[in-house]
Amino acid sequence: MFASKKSRLAAGVLAAGALLALSACSSGGGAFSSDSASSSSDTVTVGSAAFGESEILMQIYGQALEANGVKVAYKPSIGQRDVYLKALQDGSIDLIPEYSGNLLQFYDKNSTATSSDDVYAGLNDALPKGFEVLDQSEAQDADSYNVTKEFSEKWDVKSLDDLKKVTDPLTVGANPEFQTRPYGIPGLKSAYGVTATLKPISDSGGPLTVAALKNGDVQLADIYTTTPAIKDNGFVTLKDPKNLIAAQNIVPLINSKKASDKVKDVLNKVSKELTTEDLIDMNGENQGSSKTQPDAVAKKWLQDHPIK
């Protein structure tokens, strides 16, 4: 069949490559297909978004459930909200840690709720059928406007209300959606009468945004409140007296079919114990010099806060 040794070898390599590609396809499909083994009726599959804090929370939920005799499977780093919520709806995951304000905004684009209680109340109406949020934690990871210490002192700015005093043009370093979100550029204008322009930096208040604020490319930076870099760089988080920024309490979003009394009880206890300070510390361990893995960070928190 084959003319020479060489072509036989080539055919073999090709076949091996095709096999590899095929196996990659099938495992890739499994991640999002609803009939995967991990979704069997007594296992709770807990997922996470593609960033450290979400993975830590996923591990806390999962390990706490396991410690109380619930079978758990993990699917970390699924991506952004539109992707992992799809995964939740098609049954590839059953549970994911969420942020109340952004979750509400996703399902109800016209919502104007900003306080923790209003947002939580809005969530129960907005969520699709068959899914529910359990008790929300007081722990929050919300957007926040930050300035450098020098800027704060120079203009005597401690709150968003004080920004009116600044006569220099203001630029904000934030994700591109800041251009249109109610808590972004439009909100600054309508709630505080401050005109600012956006420098879009797509790293969600990460190191690029921090660098832009530090070197003066931007005067304001949108950084999540649980980011250790705020404290590390001595940034000043501006107060928001008019509740421009929606609350972002940590809340477990779960498929109602998997929300047994035991699961609910465990996760509600976790939410009760968790604080914003805990999140800052855990993110510090995860992102700082020690680079502790999310599962180890979660394990340590659960040792200090046993969930029984």
208 binds other proteins (CB under 8 A): yes
82 binds other proteins (CB under 8 A): yes
86 binds other proteins (CB under 8 A): no
Distance in angstroms (rounded) separating the CA atoms of residues 4 and 252: 62
Interface residues for other proteins in 52-81 (CB under 8 A)? 80
The stretch near other proteins (CB under 8 A) out of 6-14, 110-118, 171-179, 288-296 is: 171-179
199 binds other proteins (CB under 8 A): yes
41 binds other proteins (CB under 8 A): no
Tokens of 292: 């502790």
H or E element that contains 206: none
H or E element that contains 172: strand 170-174
The stretch near other proteins (CB under 8 A) out of 128-136, 160-168, 196-204, 251-259 is: 196-204
The one-letter amino acid at 218: V
In whole angstroms, how close is the CB of 292 to other proteins at the nearest point? 22
Nearer to other proteins, 29 or 176 (CB): 176
Distance in angstroms (rounded) separating the CA atoms of residues 185 and 173: 11
Size of the site for other proteins (CB under 8 A): 20
Distance in angstroms (rounded) separating the CA atoms of residues 245 and 160: 11
Q: Which of 29, 207, 234, 241 binds other proteins (CB under 8 A)?
A: 207
- DSSP, res 246: P
Provide the Cα torsion 18, 20, 21, 25; round to 10°.
Answer: 140
Distance in angstroms (rounded) separating the CA atoms of residues 144 and 233: 15
202 binds other proteins (CB under 8 A): yes
- DSSP, res 291: -
The stretch near other proteins (CB under 8 A) out of 26-34, 62-70, 112-120, 168-176 is: 168-176
Q: Could you tell me if 99 and 141 are in contact, meaning their C-beta atoms sit under 8 angstroms apart? A: yes
Q: Which of 200, 234, 288, 306 binds other proteins (CB under 8 A)?
A: 200
Q: Could you tell me if 235 and 212 are in contact, meaning their C-beta atoms sit under 8 angstroms apart? A: no
- DSSP, res 93: -
Q: Which of 44, 201, 236, 238 binds other proteins (CB under 8 A)?
A: 201
264 binds other proteins (CB under 8 A): no
173 binds other proteins (CB under 8 A): yes
- Residues of this chain that interact with other proteins (CB under 8 A) are 80, 82, 173, 175-177, 179-180, 199-203, 207-208, 211-212, 214-215, 217
